[in-house]
Amino acid sequence: MASGPSSYVVIARKWRPQTFEDVVGQKIIMQTLQNALRSNRIAHAFIFSGARGVGKTTAARILAKALNCHRGPTPQPCGECVSCKEIAAGNSLDVLEIDAASNTGVENIRELRETLQYRSARDRFKIFIVDEVHMLSNAAFNALLKTLEEPPEHVKFIMATTESHRVPVTILSRCQQFEFKMIPGQQILDRLRVIAQAEEIQISDYALRLICSASEGSMRDAQSALDQVLAFSGRQVNDEDVRSLLGVVPEESLNAVVAALIGRDRKAMLDQLSRIAGHGHSLQVFCRKLVQHFRHLLVIKAAGFEPELIPVSASQGEYLRGQAEQFSEMDLLRIYDLLFRAEGELRWHPTPLFHLEITLLKVLQLPHLEEIEKVLSGLVPLTARDASVQNPGASRPASFDALAGRNQKAATGRGAPLQTGELEIALKKQSSAGGPGVEERAQSRELIPPEAERSHPNSAEASDTGLQIQRLLDSVHQERPALSAFLEKAQIRIEAGRLLIRFSEKQRMNRQFAEQIDSVEFLRELCTRIFGAPMEVCVEMEGPSQEPPPAGRKHRALEDPRVRLFTEAFPGKISIEDIRGTESERDE
């Protein structure tokens, strides 16, 4: 004998709110509607907008019940009268629900307008609930305009949309607008607990939190996910079943990847990603979890751990606080930005694993940045530095010696003061032994003005040409990695106030890249920044020895601001022989 149709009602329908008080996460909107009903200040048309599953259609049905309840209009519909029951069941003759996605044309609106002239069959108002109203065509919206502005007294319109920006402003201006917000995770969790207890479901708080996280602020999505879990596990739900069904990467794997990022352990990070992909988890979902994780770290860094801001347990909050201490706020902002962009790109990338691996390797390459206030608090006062620059022969200020001593202690591990030349050598040795990275060495060196180095007794060692060039190359590697790669095999020297870059015959492409206007301008600006004085940049090929151009008329012409402005506007190479001066200048 064939069995009859199933009488099972899904949780999202069974637990649909029936009163204004039951609607979760929209307290202000519900209170406004109730006050309007109490004072009998009821608009003729409403627009409920917001994300999916946050209560728009549910609120529309409750408002319809409140308007047509036999005790009403009332802010507390009884739910027992014929009107309330029929509206809840969706078969009331006087409350018509229209799916605008299926009735988009102007002819559908014309049919609707023809029915407006007839009064309601039994109830107080004839109510039209138009779902996804943004799907109507422009002609249909135009046909609706006059009706919305001056509808019959017995007609009310309640329209719902997930994309209010697609509704013409002429329609919006004729309606009361209510923006439904995403439901906070804690409120969804509390509601799921009530449902689980009433349905006698054995499920942990951890599993419920996973469901809340997957719902992304939608109550309907959370209830549908819980229904799916029950279909898989029955009333005894374990955490592993929830993780498997929702495709959630275990917390252990997520924490292992974050720990590898903190420890800059490339191998451990790549191994974890390989395991996650090997178990069939969605890398886009995992990347989204990473984005959420670093958002939590950023919030903790900015405001401390607050359960209202971060929906995790207290023990997990303590764990996150420990991780947040390993980053600066600027680090977390940059990591979040990289991961957020990668999460959107993974959807279309042909090899998601490769893209996520490269993204996390980029994260590992990011240098740690200190907050600007901390950096400024440790610098030499500007007046002392300016005095040293203006008077190269003057001795260094006492505050500079104190600052250099602090940096020497940090770099060498000893408190005894070092001379400037010794400081450079100590930093170089520590780098080769696995000490501070390029950025830290660059910061230490930049604290010493070039003029102060020249005035120091050990200036011959401190201003060694090799160290100057290495400092320059370190900065290029930091700021222009592509240019640094092209300069790797070039012969570079500093001579007569010029930076000379020479390439072999086999490195023509390297030379072409290095002599581009933006590359030369960058190197010139970098030389000024590092050495404290402007320096000409010359790019050449190996060949017969070339004499440097005279520092007279021709050199001045190349450095003339008007010539440099012209070469920026019209890129190209200017030959020294092309420069001609006045009659009086030709003998220079």
| pLDDT computed for residue 562 by the predictor | 65
Query: Is the same domain home to 23 and 163?
Result: yes
| pLDDT computed for residue 390 by the predictor | 46
Query: Is the same domain home to 28 and 169?
Result: yes
Task: Say if residue 448 is exposed, middle or buried (CB neighbours under 10 Å; 0-12, 13-18, 19+).
Answer: buried
- DSSP-based helix, strand, coil % in the chain, nearest 5: 60, 10, 35
Query: Is the same domain home to 157 and 93?
Result: yes
Distance CA 462, CA 460 (A): 6
Query: Is the same domain home to 68 and 27?
Result: yes
Residue 401 half-sphere exposure, CB side, CA atoms within 13 Å?
9
Final residue belonging to a domain, choices 332, 365, 398 = 365
Query: Is the same domain home to 17 and 159?
Result: yes
**In this structure, what CATH number is given to the domain that contains residue 259?**
1.20.272.10
Q: Which of 346, 211, 243, 244 is nearest to 291 (CA)?
A: 346
Helix (H) or strand (E) holding 445: helix 438-446
Q: Which of 71, 57, 59 is nearest to 22 (CA)?
A: 59
In tens digits, the chain (588 residues) has pLDDT values of 444 555 788 898 989 999 999 999 899 999 999 999 999 899 999 999 999 999 999 999 999 999 999 987 899 998 889 999 999 888 888 898 888 888 778 888 888 888 887 788 888 899 999 999 999 888 888 888 888 888 888 899 999 999 999 999 999 999 999 999 999 888 999 999 999 999 889 998 888 988 888 888 899 999 999 999 998 888 888 888 888 888 778 788 888 898 888 888 889 999 999 988 888 888 888 898 899 889 989 998 888 887 777 877 777 778 888 888 888 888 889 899 999 999 888 888 889 999 999 999 998 887 765 555 555 565 544 444 444 444 444 444 443 344 344 444 443 444 444 444 443 433 344 444 444 444 443 343 333 334 434 444 444 443 467 777 888 888 888 888 777 777 877 888 887 778 888 888 777 777 777 877 778 888 888 888 877 777 888 888 876 544 444 455 556 666 666 666 666 655 566 655 555 554 444 444
Query: Is the same domain home to 76 and 121?
Result: yes
User: Does any domain span residue 149?
Assistant: yes
- How far separated are the first and last CA of the chain, in Å rounded? 114
User: Does any domain span residue 526?
Assistant: yes
Supply the DSSP symbol for 440.
H
* Under 8 Å between Cβ of 502 and 540: yes
User: Does any domain span residue 583?
Assistant: no
Q: Which of 231, 235, 223, 225 is nearest to 16 (CA)?
A: 223
**In this structure, what CATH number is given to the domain that contains residue 205?**
1.10.8.60
Q: Which of 315, 249, 341, 231 is nearest to 286 (CA)?
A: 249
3-state secondary structure 278-342: HCCCCHHHHHHHHHHHHHHHHHHHHHCCCCCCCCCCHHHHHHHHHHHCCCCHHHHHHHHHHHHHH
User: Does any domain span residue 5?
Assistant: no
Distance CA 583, CA 579 (A): 13
User: Does any domain span residue 370?
Assistant: no
The interaxial angle of helices 283-303 and 251-262, nearest 10 deg, is 60
Domain that holds residue 112: 11-180
Tokens, residue 295? 């958002």
Phi-psi region at 304: left, alpha or beta (left = phi > 0; alpha = psi -120 to 50): left
Other beta carbons within 10 Å of 399: 14
Query: Is the same domain home to 317 and 207?
Result: no
Query: Is the same domain home to 31 and 153?
Result: yes
Residue with tokens 């592993």: 240
Beta strands in 415-570 (DSSP E): 491-495, 498-503, 536-541
Residue with tokens 């407006």: 116
**In this structure, what CATH number is given to the domain that contains residue 553?**
3.30.300
| pLDDT computed for residue 417 by the predictor | 43
Query: Is the same domain home to 202 and 170?
Result: no
CA distances from 462 to 333, 386, 453, 456, 471 (A): 37, 20, 6, 9, 12
User: Does any domain span residue 372?
Assistant: no
Distance CA 77, CA 90 (A): 16
Final residue belonging to a domain, choices 463, 485, 502 = 463
Count the domains in the chain: 5
Distance CA 426, CA 512 (A): 37
Supply the DSSP symbol for 585.
G
Q: Show Cβ contacts of residue 464 under 8 Å, excluding neighbours closer than 6 positions.
A: 424
**In this structure, what CATH number is given to the domain that contains residue 86?**
3.40.50.300
Task: Say if residue 458 is exposed, middle or buried (CB neighbours under 10 Å; 0-12, 13-18, 19+).
Answer: middle
- 46 φ/ψ angles, rounded to the nearest 5 degrees: -130, 150
Distance CA 58, CA 41 (A): 21
The number of residues making up the chain comes to 588
Helix (H) or strand (E) holding 453: helix 450-455
> Hey, what amino acid is at 22?
D
User: Does any domain span residue 154?
Assistant: yes
Q: Which of 78, 68, 232 is nearest to 158 (CA)?
A: 68
Other beta carbons within 10 Å of 510: 20
Final residue belonging to a domain, choices 200, 216, 246 = 246
Q: Max Cα separation, the chain?
A: 117
Query: Is the same domain home to 168 and 61?
Result: yes
In this structure, the strands spanning 491-495 and 498-503 are: antiparallel
Query: Is the same domain home to 72 and 146?
Result: yes
Tokens, residue 454? 């020249």
User: Does any domain span residue 316?
Assistant: yes
Query: Is the same domain home to 408 and 359?
Result: no
Instruction: Characterize 50-66 residue by residue with b for buried, 16 or more Cβ atoms within 10 angstroms of its Cβ, and e for exposed.
Output: beebbbbbbbbbbbbbb
The three-class DSSP label of residue 399 is: helix
Over the Cα atoms of the chain, what is R_g?
Answer: 36
